[in-house]
């Protein structure tokens, strides 16, 4: 259903074409509307997300609960704010040896 909603949001005409020509078995728009009405929309994370993560992680080993992320190092200039993005910036806590050094983690 989520994917159907995404297609519909992206293009109403494409969704209707795929549905009416039986290219994909898609639910009617009324059905999608019913799903949307049942969804709670709010800013930030929903409590259900944390409940699911807690349930899924309860049977995992400690090493399986962590994941790593690699960020690519790059420096860019923001024309609107006249700021350089991508350098290490910890505010007043930036060590002297890291000033003007490319950031490599978040």
Whether the per-residue pLDDT at 106 is higher than 60: the answer is no
Whether the per-residue pLDDT at 105 is higher than 70: the answer is no
Whether the per-residue pLDDT at 104 is higher than 60: the answer is no
pTM of the model: 0.40
Residues 61-89 pLDDT 10s: 888 877 766 555 667 777 888 776 776 66
The CA distances from residue 101 to 54, 87, 97, in Å, are 37, 6, 8
- Report yes or no: 85 and 75 within 8 Å, Cβ to Cβ: yes
- Report yes or no: 76 and 85 within 8 Å, Cβ to Cβ: yes
More confident residue, 37 or 69: 37
Rounded CA separation 45/26 (Å)? 28
């Amino acid at each position: 259903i989520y994917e159907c909603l995404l297609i519909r949001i992206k293009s109403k005409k494409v969704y209707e074409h795929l549905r009416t020509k039986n290219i994909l078995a898609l639910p009617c728009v009324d059905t999608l509307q019913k799903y949307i009405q049942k969804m709670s929309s709010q800013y930030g994370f929903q409590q259900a997300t944390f409940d699911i993560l807690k349930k899924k992680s309860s049977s995992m080993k400690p090493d399986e609960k962590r994941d790593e992320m690699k960020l690519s190092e790059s420096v860019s200039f923001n024309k609107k704010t006249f700021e350089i993005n991508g350098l290490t910036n910890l505010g007043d806590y930036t060590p002297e040896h890291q000033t003007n050094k490319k950031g490599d983690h978040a």
